Each structure stands twice: as C-alpha cells, then as structure tokens.
Amino acid sequence: MSQYSNDVDAIASLRQAQGSAWAAINPEHAARMRAQNRFHTGLDIAKYTAKIMREDMAAYDKDSSQYTQSLGCWHGFIGQQKAISIKKHFGTMKKSYLYLSGWMVAALRSEFGPLPDQSMHEKTTVPMLIEELYTFLKQADAWELNHYFRDLEEAKEAGDDVAAKKAQEKIDNFETHVIPIIADIDAGFGNEEATYLLAKKMIEAGACAIQLENQVSDVKQCGHQDGKVTVPHSQFLAKINAVRYAFLEMGVDDGIIVARTDSLGAGLTQQIAVSNEPGDLGDQYNSFIAGEEIKDASEINPNDVVIKQSGKLVRLQRLASGLFEFRKGTGEDRVVMDCIASLQNGADLLWIETEKPHVKQIAGMVDRIREEVPNAKLVYNNSPSFNWTLNFRQQVYDAWSEEGKDVSAYDRDNLMDVKYDDTELGQVADEWTRDFQKEGAAKAGIFHHLITLPTYHTAALSTDQLSKGYFGDEGMLAYVKGVQRKELREGIATVKHQDMAGSNIGDDHKEFFSRESALKAGGKDNTMNQFG
C-alpha cells in the first residue's frame, strides 16, 4: 500500500472521529496536499539529502563511473527548471545535485549590487538562497504531482480504470525534485564562531554539504584570481570542527564537509603558523615560506622575522603589506599537505582549485593524497574561468608533439581561432572535453563534477540573443521563433507559465476549500488553453 493510500485511510479515520464538523474535508484531497508537501522543514531536507550523498559516495568508492554532477544556480527558479529538465530527459534525479556558488551570490544576490567574489556580500544571503532553492524544488514536486492527481480524478470520473491505474502508479512511484545542495560558505565569513553560526543557518535552510576554503576570510579572493592568502592549518581545521559541530547540533549526523584548498595558486600567507615541535603541521606550513638563510644573530635587523627551517635560521621575506610569500613552485606540495590534514581532521571531500582542467595534473596530486588517505575523493570545479576550447586544443597539440606527430599546420598560441573548429585537432579536443568528467572520475578521484557559474552565462547569452532580435529587425519573431516555438516543440513546461507558477494548484485548493462556490482562474477564457 502506498503512502498516499495510507494517508487517505488515516485522514478518513480522523474525519470520522470528528463527526459532522469535518464533513467538508475530503480525505483524498488532504492526502493529496500532504503528498505535494513531503518536506516540512529545511532540516528534513538536510537529513534526507545527506543520506543520498553518503550513499552516492559509497557507490563511487566501488565504481568510479558512478560519479555525480551539478550546475550552479543563483535563483530558485533556475534550480527548479534545471531539476525539471533533468527529470524530463533522464527519468530520474539520481546522481544530480545543485551547487550554490558564493561567486554568484556576490555577483547577483547582494543588496549592494554586483560585487566581486571577496566575501563582501551579506552572509545571510547564502542560507536565504538555499531556502529559496528548496522552496522552488518543493513547488516542482507539487506542480508535477498536481497534474498526476488531476489525471487520476479525470480517469475516475470517466470510468477509465486503465488510465486511473497509470496515474496512481505515477503518484505511488513519484521521485522528488529535492536533491542535495553543495553550498559555498567561502572562507567562513569571520572566525570559527562566525563560521559555526552561519553553518547552522545554512543547515536549517536545507544544506547537507558545506564547502569551506582555506583562505583568510577578510581578504578572500575568487579561486581564479591572483592575491590569494591562505591560513595556517590550525585555523582551517578549527573551522572544519565548527561546521561539524553545527551539523551535530542540528541533528544532521552525516552532514558532508568539503575542504577546499587554494594553495596551488595562493602564494601568500598572513601568519606564521604556531609550531610546537619539529615536523608538526605548523612547522610544515612554515617550511614553505620564502626566506634567506642567516649565519648568526648579528645579521638580524630590528624589523626582521626569523624562524628555523630544517634547523637553519631563515629571515622571511615580508611584503610591504605585512604578508609573507611562499617559495615558488611549492603549491602542489602544499595542496597535498592541506588535503591530507583536512581528511585526517574531519573533512569528507576535497576541492582542489586548479588553474586549468588537466586530468593528469589533478591525478598526480590525488595519487599522492591517496598514499595517506586511500578513499580520498574530489569535488571539482569545471570552471567557466577556464578557456576550455583553448586548454584542450593545447593539450592535444602537446600530446601530438610528444608523440612526434606533425603539428606544423597549427599555431599553438592561436588555437582558439575558428579556422581550427573543423580540423582533426579541434575535433579530438572536443572529444577530450566531452570525456573530461568520465576520465577525471576514473583517473583523478573526482566524485563530483560541477560547473560553478553556468546559469550566469546562459542567462546573459539567451538575453543577448533575444534582445538582438527583438530590438532589431526581427521584432516579435525573435521571441516567437527563438523562445516560444522552441518551448512548445521541446516540451518546456514554462510555456504554460501560469501553470508553472502554481495557478492550477491554486484553483484546486480553492475547490477543496470553497467547493462549488470557488472562483477559479482556469476557465475557458484562460489564454493558457492555447497551448493544449
């Protein structure tokens, strides 16, 4: 017996116990509303989605082809339409997540207006967006189920048992649009207490996975910009602990922490780490700071900062800003150290921010990490900050050069040129791009592939194309041909925008509440009927 049928019976018993006072209550309608609102709180969602992620992580450990994916979404409607599209095209939401990007919150959701990705936006905007995304995903459930319930009622009224059975099966086997969100908490927006407080709000809103980076929170930079400053491990691990405590306090015992390291591109540190004994994490962190050896104390000037590195006195290089530089070429070693320390101290997944999408480079670091933590797994940013076309064409060019293949027909520095689109190199590069996720999952430990900012770019591109035609010679044809006709022919639900926004659900509720006196919007004069 389905949950819906159980609810109908339970509510019928309640109605009977209340006598005539509940005579207007239809148990099927009440059970229908309950089915359309499965999740009552964000914590319900966080607990449900954490379980999904843990199961997916275990499945990936057994079979690397079982990787997961997400797209970054900056508005609830965008997230909703992404989920509806996945379900329409693939029949399931499995292995599909949402990503909440701090970059897009800063650029699109701050009350200050567009901001750079430097943690200047209101931190409360992050849990607000999580809540908004889940509000829209829950509405997608209600919208889809509403159609199935209408089909069921129509079939029963028509006496069509076959159609009624089909509709009932869709209701009983319904798969929710509510999927995990990996949510970006940047560098924690302050000290560890600030990180804990914000993490709690994010979890209350529904986040089952929180991504935290090892930059200094007050000078945080986008991972693809210069000037990144990392913190000693003790500070980062304290924030990992803060997020874990937040999960445990909220009862999400299997919440996921994604530890992001920016060390590959970060050449600066604000602080010298505290070290209690040679070889500890503090000592290892400090060993990478650039400096020059001095022979005795008489060489020390009043403003010098001097530490011991491998038993030698070293005067550290300090910039005018007061920051210290790491030695050039140490980024990968620092990444490996960051990742091992994070996994050994409470993190569940890793995020390595790289400067290019190169499977061999990522695999080289992951292999080193797995020497210490064999089941280490990555969340990887398939970033729009990469020029994917140029990167992969250059990768193919370099591979062919190493093989001794003639590449004289290609200019490596100008491979973005359109003239290379239909060449053998261009086609092979596209194949490598297509296979990047599969190859990365198999060879580089990438459990989750995401694109941080895709819907920022798609919104800009589609708006540009419509504006170009509508305000130009095409006029209204630009909208009809470029938008509405495609919606109709490709089965995009938004073509019936009133229905998508909940008009039919509202009409049905009015009928539940007011019965024959209900004033409904979906009559014969509703122009939405033109779309069938």
Could you give the residue numbers annotated as active site? 222
Tell me, what amino acid is at 454? P
Q: Give the span between the Cα atoms of 269 and 272, in whole angstroms.
A: 7
Length of the chain equals: 532
In whole angstroms, give the CA distance from residue 303 to residue 290: 16
Backbone angles phi, psi at 487, to 5 degrees: -55, -45
Beta partners for residue 352, in sequence order: 261
Bridge partner list, 93: none
Q: Is 399 exposed, middle or buried (0-12, 13-18, 19+ CB in 10 A)?
A: middle
| CB contact at 8 A, 357 and 388 | yes
Query: How far is residue 292's CA from residue 294's CA, in Å, rounded to a whole number?
Result: 6
Amino acid at 309: Q
- What sign does the CA torsion over 477, 478, 483, 486 have? positive
Contact by Cβ (8 Å): 420, 396 = no
Alpha helices in 159-232 (DSSP H): 161-172, 192-205
126 backbone φψ class: left, alpha, beta (φ>0; ψ -120 to 50): alpha
Instruction: Select from 209, 222, 197, 44 the least CA-distant residue to 124.
Output: 197
Query: Rounded to the nearest 5°, which phi and psi values hold at 514?
Result: -105, -10
Distance CA 381, CA 172 (A): 37
Enumerate residues 6+ apart whose C-beta is below 8 A from 243: 185, 195, 196, 199, 210, 212, 255, 257
Q: Which residues of 351-367 are buried (b: 16+ CB within 10 A; e: fewer)?
A: bbbbebbbbebbbebbe
What's the DSSP call for residue 209?
Answer: E
Q: Could you identify the residue written with the tokens 């018993």?
A: 13
Asked if residues 74 and 157 have their Cβ atoms less than 8 Å apart, the reply is no
